[in-house]
Chain A
Amino acid sequence: DIQMTQSPSSLSASVGDRVTITCRTSQDITKWLAWYQLKPGKAPKALIYAASSLQSGVPSRFSGSGSGTDFTLTISSLQPDDFATYYCQQYDTFPLTFGGGTKVEIK
Chain B
Amino acid sequence: EVQLVESGGGLVQPGRSLRLSCAASGFRFDENAMHWVRLVPGKGLEWVSGISWTGAILGYAVSVRGRFIISRDNAKNSLFLQMNSLRIEDTALYFCAKTNDLDYWGHGTQVTVSS
Contact = CB atoms under 8 A, between A and B. Distances in A.
A34 B102 CA distance: 8
Contacts of A44: 95, 97, 102, 105
The contact size tier of chain A is 20 to 34
A36 B102 contact: yes
Nearest to A96: B47
Most buried by B among A41, A44, A98: A44
Nearest to B47: A96
Contacts of B47: 95-98
A50 interface: yes
A95 B59 contact: yes
Given A87-B45, A101-B44, A101-B45, A96 B104 contact: no
Interface residues of B, number: 24
Mostly, the A contact residues are: loop
Contacts of A97: 47
Given A89-B45, A91-B100, A101-B45, A96 B35 contact: yes
B45 A98 contact: yes
Interface in B42-60: 44-47, 50, 59-60
Given A34-B102, A44-B97, A95-B60, 9 more contacts: A36-B45, A43-B108, A46-B104, A46-B105, A95-B61, A96-B35, A98-B46, A100-B44, A101-B44
Closest 7 pairs between A and B when the two form their complex, measured CB to CB: A96-B47, A98-B45, A49-B101, A44-B105, A91-B100, A101-B44, A43-B107
